[in-house]
Chain A
Amino acid sequence: MDMEMEEIRGTFKPEIIPRETGGKIGDYEAALHVLMKFVGSMSSALEQVSGRGANAIVYQAGKRMGHDAAKMLEKTDDLEKALNEMGEVLGVEFYFEMWKPKGQEGYTIESGDKTEVKLLFMDCVVRQTLRRTGLPQKGPLCYLLYGYMVGAVEEVMSIKGKLDIDHVGPNACLKTLTIKWGGK
C-alpha cells in the first residue's frame, strides 16, 4: 500500500508555545485508530493475564479519572442536576440520556435508602474501541466507564454509587445508576 507522508519542518525553541496542533484531519483519524488498537489489545491482554481481576483494575482507573474530572464541579444533592453536571464531565464522547420504560412515571425509582435511574449511553468511545478491535462488549474496558461514572457521582454528590450494565447494543447501552443515600 502506498503511503503519503508530509514532513513538517520548522524551528523549535522551548519558549515558543505552538498556537495550534499540526497535521490534517486524516492524521488525527489515523492516530485515533492506532490508539483504539493499543487500548483494545491492552484490555484483552489484561484479561488474559489477570482474568476477572482485569475488571477491578480498569474500574479503579476509571473511578480515579471520575473523581479527578468532577473535582471542580459544584456539589449537589439533586440527582438530575448532578447528572447534567456529569454529562459535562463525560463530554460528548460519552453522551447519555435518562431513560424510562413507557409505563414508569418518573425517571427515578426510590427504594429504601437507594435511588435508581436508568441511563442510556448513546455515544461511547469505549464501544467504538471494542468494535474497532473486534472485542465483545461488557468486558473490562466497559468497567472504565463504570468507574468513571461512579467516581464522578461520588465526587459531586458525596455518596456511594454503582452502575450496572443492563443491556448492550451497537448503537446504545442501557445502564442502571444506583445511589445509596447516607454518606460515604
Chain B
Amino acid sequence: MEYLSRKQKMKKISRGFKMVEIEIDEDACVGCGSCVDDCPNNVYQMNEETWKTTVVNADDCMACLSCHEICPSQAMTHRDIHVAKRLYIDRKVNDVLEKII
C-alpha cells in the first residue's frame, strides 16, 4: 500500500483521477445484479448469456466500493485504488476476533 504525503496528495487534486482495474470472480458471482443496481456510474452490466456481472465501464469507476459492500459473495477485486485510511478498526476487537476464529 502506498502512502502519499500531504503535499503529494494536494498536487493530485488537480491531476485527475486514475482508471480503476476491476476483476470479477465468475465462479463466485451469483448473478444477483445488486452491483448493477447499486453503481451510480453504470460500471457493471449483467451478461445475459452467463447471467454473471461484467465490467462495461471501468473508466467511470470512482472506487467508492459500495459494490463490495453490497456483493453477497465478495466476487470483485479493485486494483490500484486509493484505499481510505481505516481509522475505525479497533485492534483490541480484532485480536479477540482472531482468537475466536
Contact of A124 among B6, B84, B91 (CB under 8 A): B84
B6 touches A172 (CB 8 A): no
Q: In B12-66, which residues have CB < 8 Å from any A CB?
A: 12-14, 16-17, 40-41, 57, 59-60, 62-66
Q: In B56-86, which residues have CB < 8 Å from any A CB?
A: 57, 59-60, 62-66, 68-69, 81-86
Q: A residues within 8 A CB of B13?
A: 83-84, 87, 96-98
Contact with B along A1-27 (1 / 0, CB 8 A): 100000000000000000000000000
Contact of A84 among B6, B14, B68 (CB under 8 A): B14
Query: What bracket does the count of chain B residues touching chain A fall in?
Result: 20 to 34
A98 touches B62 (CB 8 A): no
| B3: min CB distance to chain A, Å | 10
**Interface residues contributed by chain A, number (CB under 8 Å):** 39
A172 touches B64 (CB 8 A): yes
| A129: min CB distance to chain B, Å | 7
Q: Quick check: which of A45-53, A63-71, A142-150, A163-171 contacts chain B, the rest being far away?
A: A163-171
Residue numbers of A with Cβ under 8 A of B are: 1, 29, 32-33, 36, 80, 83-84, 87-88, 91-92, 95-102, 120, 122-125, 127-129, 131-132, 166-174
Known: A84-B10, A123-B85. 18 other contacts (CB 8 A): A32-B87, A87-B10, A96-B13, A97-B13, A97-B16, A98-B14, A99-B62, A102-B60, A122-B82, A122-B84, A128-B85, A128-B87, A132-B87, A132-B90, A166-B40, A169-B65, A171-B64, A172-B65
